[in-house]
Amino acid sequence: MFWTLTQVALGGAAGAILRYGTQMGAQRLFGPGVPSGTLFVNVLGSFLIGIVFVWLIDKGLMRHAPFLLVGVLGAYTTFSTFSLDALLLWERGLHGWAVGYALGSVILSLAAVVAGVWLARGWLA
């Protein structure tokens, strides 16, 4: 268990650094007014997690999943994990769950950030 947590931590540090670098680069290219870096990170991370997931399974290397999938790509963008989870539900034939999970994640997360901002502004006002 210690080694698994170490892999997640090391991968997470690398993913967070990559995310920060990507977002700073996008901000320089497109300006600070649009979250282009977040969009780029989410799309690229989702693309990469698909490739890495299949590669790890095909090569019998799932022991590296904590570092690569949870750590690096999980810290790079949690959206990639969300995307993979939704796809795996769909592939298992759980179409209703996949759609519900996707819609619920987006709607509930947006509602949660609105509630958090509203609550925090009330406390800090």
Q: What are the residue boundaries of the structural domains of the chain, listed by start?
A: 2-77
Residues 6+ apart with CB under 8 A from 117: none
| Cα first-last separation, the chain | 44
pLDDT band at 76 (very low <50, low <70, confident <90, very high): very high
Q: What pLDDT, in 10s, does the model give residues 27-50?
A: 899 888 778 888 889 889 999 999
Q: Any alpha helices (H) in 31-94, and if so which ranges?
A: 36-58, 65, 74-76, 78-91
User: 11-47 burial by CB neighbour count: b if 16+ within 10 A, else e?
Assistant: bbebbeebbeebbeebeeeeeeeeebbeebbbebbbe
pLDDT at 58 exceeding the cut of 90: yes
pLDDT band at 90 (very low <50, low <70, confident <90, very high): very high
What's the pLDDT at 34?
A: 78
Cβ atoms of 28 and 36 within 8 Å: the answer is no
| CB < 8 Å & 24+ apart, contacts of 50-55 | 50/83, 50/84, 50/87, 53/84
Residue 121: both structure tokens together: 């502004």
Q: Which amino acid does the sequence have at 72?
A: V
Instruction: Please state the pTM of the whole predicted model.
Output: 0.79
Q: What pLDDT, in 10s, does the model give residues 96-106?
A: 999 999 999 99
Cβ atoms of 76 and 18 within 8 Å: the answer is yes
pLDDT band at 123 (very low <50, low <70, confident <90, very high): confident
What's the pLDDT at 79?
A: 86
pLDDT at 124 exceeding the cut of 80: no
What's the pLDDT at 80?
A: 83
What's the pLDDT at 81?
A: 83
